[in-house]
């Protein structure tokens, strides 16, 4: 009898672990995408000028730690956490670039946009390159976006402007959906800065 009890004690932890892993593997994954401006409200007031520019967006580079399906959150200055069941519905770099272009298309609705690498025959008036150094946040805290972006003129790659921009948005709640919504607002803020710079360079054309 004692041998049976000893055997049960030896096997029980493994059975509990297997049961936990089986339950975890059956937990539903949740998928997220960044959201863009809707095209209504004060954020569209830049679109009133008559301009017909062609603007190339890219390359847009994100840090390697974001090149994964899981949503990344920040625990401390040196520690990151990968979500267990909360994932991006598409590669984050593609999602970020697409939403940035959608935002700019709302803010500068008279202009045309093309994405890097540029293959069309039409010449590009301005090219916007974006290097993201941080794009994460804390659950229940702030979402952060830190970038360095540059605008080049036409096809001669003449550097017209370069800036470092940093944005923070409060999540307002503890879940991943609130974090992604706050991250979306930081991308909108970046688009506002870029749109304002393009408007200044073009002289309101």
Element (H, E) at 132: strand 126-137
Kindly report the pTM of this predicted structure: 0.82
2-46 pLDDT per residue, tens:
555 454 455 455 545 454 454 445 678 999 999 999 865 555 555
146-191 pLDDT per residue, tens:
999 999 997 657 999 999 999 999 999 999 999 999 999 999 999 9
> pLDDT grade, residue 117 (50/70/90)?
confident
Q: Quote the pLDDT of residue 123.
A: 86
Superfamily of domain 31-202: ABC-type transport auxiliary lipoprotein component (3.40.50.10610)
For residues 37 and 100, what is the distance between their CA atoms, to the nearest angstrom? 9
CB 60 within 8 A of CB 100: yes
- Residue 74, classed as helix, strand or coil, is strand
Q: What residue spans define the domains of the chain?
A: 31-202
Q: Quote the pLDDT of residue 41.
A: 54
């Amino acid at each position: 009898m004692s041998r049976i009890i000893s055997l049960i004690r030896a096997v029980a932890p493994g059975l509990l672990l297997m049961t936990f892993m089986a339950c975890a593997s059956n937990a539903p994954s949740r998928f997220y995408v960044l959201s863009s401006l809707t095209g209504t409200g004060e954020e569209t007031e830049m679109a009133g000028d008559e301009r017909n520019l062609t603007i190339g967006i890219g390359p847009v580079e994100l840090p390697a730690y974001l090149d994964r399906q899981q949503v990344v959150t920040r625990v401390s200055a040196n520690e990151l956490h990968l979500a267990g069941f909360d994932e991006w519905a598409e590669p984050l770099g593609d999602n970020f670039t697409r939403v940035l272009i959608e935002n700019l298309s709302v803010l500068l609705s008279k202009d045309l946009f093309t994405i890097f690498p540029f293959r069309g025959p039409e010449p590009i008036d301005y090219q916007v390159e974006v290097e993201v150094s941080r794009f994460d946040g804390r659950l229940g805290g702030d979402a952060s976006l830190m970038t360095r972006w540059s605008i080049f003129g036409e096809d001669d790659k003449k550097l017209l402007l370069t800036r470092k921009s940093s944005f923070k948005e409060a999540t307002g709640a503890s879940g991943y959906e609130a974090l992604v919504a706050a991250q979306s607002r930081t991308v909108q803020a970046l688009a506002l800065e870029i749109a304002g710079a393009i408007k200044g360079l073009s002289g309101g054309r």
